[in-house]
Structures are given as C-alpha cells and as structure tokens.
Structure 1
C-alpha cells in the first residue's frame, strides 16, 4: 500500500470495546480527541452514558444513535479515559454520568457529513479523521494482510462504527482508507486495516467529522 496520509500515530494502540455495543462511542471519542487536541484517550464510557441518557426511549446496553452522540461530544464533552474508565458491562440504568470534580471535559463541534468515498478522502486530505458507520460484511471481521476485502454480501442487522485515519493507494490504483477499529490489537494490523473506497461507497450508512 502506498501511503499518502496516516494519522494512526496520533492515536496509538487500538482499544477494545469487548462484548458491548459501544463502537460508536469509541469512534466518536477518538475523533473528539483529535479535534479537541486532548492529551490522551477520551472516555467512551462517559460519552456512551451521556448520549444514551439524552436519547428518547433508549435502553441501557443498546447501541447509540449518531445525532445524540455528536451533541454529547460537543456538550458537555468528555473527560480523559483515566478519569472515567471503561466498564466491562453496560450500566444497569439509564442516567447521565457525573464527571469527577475538577476534571476538564474535552469537546469539539462534530457533525454528520456526506458518507461517500470521495468526501471521506477529501476530509482526510484536509487534515481530518472521519467517523464511519458501516454495514458489516464477513470480510470486515477478517482482514487479510491488513486489508478488508470489498464484498457485496452484508450481514443483516450488523452495523459497525470505525474511524478513518489515513489514505493510501493499492498497487492496482484503488484508493483505500486506513480505519481504526475498537476490537483490540488482534484485529487487522494492530487494530487497523485498509478499507477500499468502494466499500465506503456501497456500505457507509453515515459519516461524521469536523
């Protein structure tokens, strides 16, 4: 892969969401970290609980919706992960989280953007990481040599959020974006993999950025 842009070093090792439906909280947390120039990982737990608590009829343990997640990243923002650690299990009740006292909350104005490959590539070239909400395929679960193969066979009711943090070109000339996942370092190449542009064009349901 001929690499044009790579923001992965800004984030470091990929994190692991475990068995919880928190992929959007992780992707948005990392994007907020970059956009707000936070000094370390932001708390996906805080963002998850805050966004969930403002979503009508939301039940604890469910996945998040994009609009309330972006609003929560902007107001109230997020503490560092070290100040509000991630939990292995979902909270039992829906309630707004209370941050520790005297702790800074990092926030940024994130917004939904057009979820096309061309737009995502443009955003990356302009210096921004991009959040993606994707239809899942089996190839997404099993990258080969650090690359997610394009597939038209979607897995029903399996939607997943990742963060696009780089841009490259394969030997055949196909543009790929480097995605940061939240399935730990055993997925792909240390938690990262290259996603072909046509995968975004076919399977991106929503995208978000600055």
Structure 2
C-alpha cells in the first residue's frame, strides 16, 4: 500500500535524534520523546486540516489525528511499513531498539522481575513483545499529548466508541472519551494493520 501524504511528513524527528548512548536518559525519556512526537504531529496537522476541510466538509480532525496516532504506534512497535528514506528509517529503528534494550535490562530492578524476564526472555534483539506491551500501557498518555490543543475543544470522534459495548457514547471534546470511561482513547486504529488503514485512507 502507498503511504498517504500525511504519513510522508509525519513529525518524528525527535525520535530520530534520541540519545541512544546514555542508558539512564534512554530509559527515562522514551515516553516523553514519543509524546513530543505526537504533540508536534498534531500541531502540524491542525492548520493543514483547517485548509483541507474547506473543500472536504466530511473530513474530521479527530480521525486524521487517530491515523497519525496509529502510525506512531507502528513506529514504536517496529511495524511501520513506510520506507521512503531507508537510512533514516534504519537509524530510527536502531534508536528505538536501544531504548527498549535499556528498558529490558532494567526489568531486573522490578518487584516482579522474574516474571517479566520470563515473559521477554526470547524477545531480543527486536523486543517486539516488550514494545507491544509498552504501547498498550502508554497509548492513553500519548493520545493526551496529541490532543491537548485548545483548538480541539468540542472536536468529536466520528463514531461512538466510548463506554461499554452495550451503550457506547461519542468522544465530543478534544477527541477524548470522558474521564469516567476506562479508556479515554476513542480509536483502535493502532490495532488495525497499517496497510489496511492506508487503503481505507486512500479510498
């Protein structure tokens, strides 16, 4: 599948330039770096979408953000298909692997270290399982960073996905479900294969 124009310019420069040699910094700063990437991406998309919507009235900003959110999730988890610049892509993947290597070796300090080390014992050198778990644990924080702009006030997600399956409700403010919901993230695009999302986006 061809990457959509939005993906060609996805703002992930701070992830490409992370310090992979400072073990302490790598362990402590991964979430901050991913949140910064998400926030910068939103800042770049919001003004562009305002212009785009003038000729495409059905376009919804929350949906656009959800698509980039899912692409960031794929980058973090080592699933991204975009390969326009293979040198930068390789550098980014190496940096992320180094981050997760440091997290992996830091598991020995956790109270449930034995259980965690057993779970990830065959996960090197790519750490795909650890990366998947990290994303599941932190996706809500990343979504908050992506949707913190006041420009998103009263912005709604395109369909009701909040609450339980019996009485779902719609995210209507800053593209977020209400605080009372188990999960404030209204989208599950990040669990749809990237090539299928791109096909749908081009359709």
TM exceeding 0.5: no
Give the TM-score of the pair, scaled to structure 1.
0.25
What TM-score comes out, normalization by structure 2 length? 0.25
Judging by fraction of residues, say which structure has more helix.
2
Higher strand share: 1
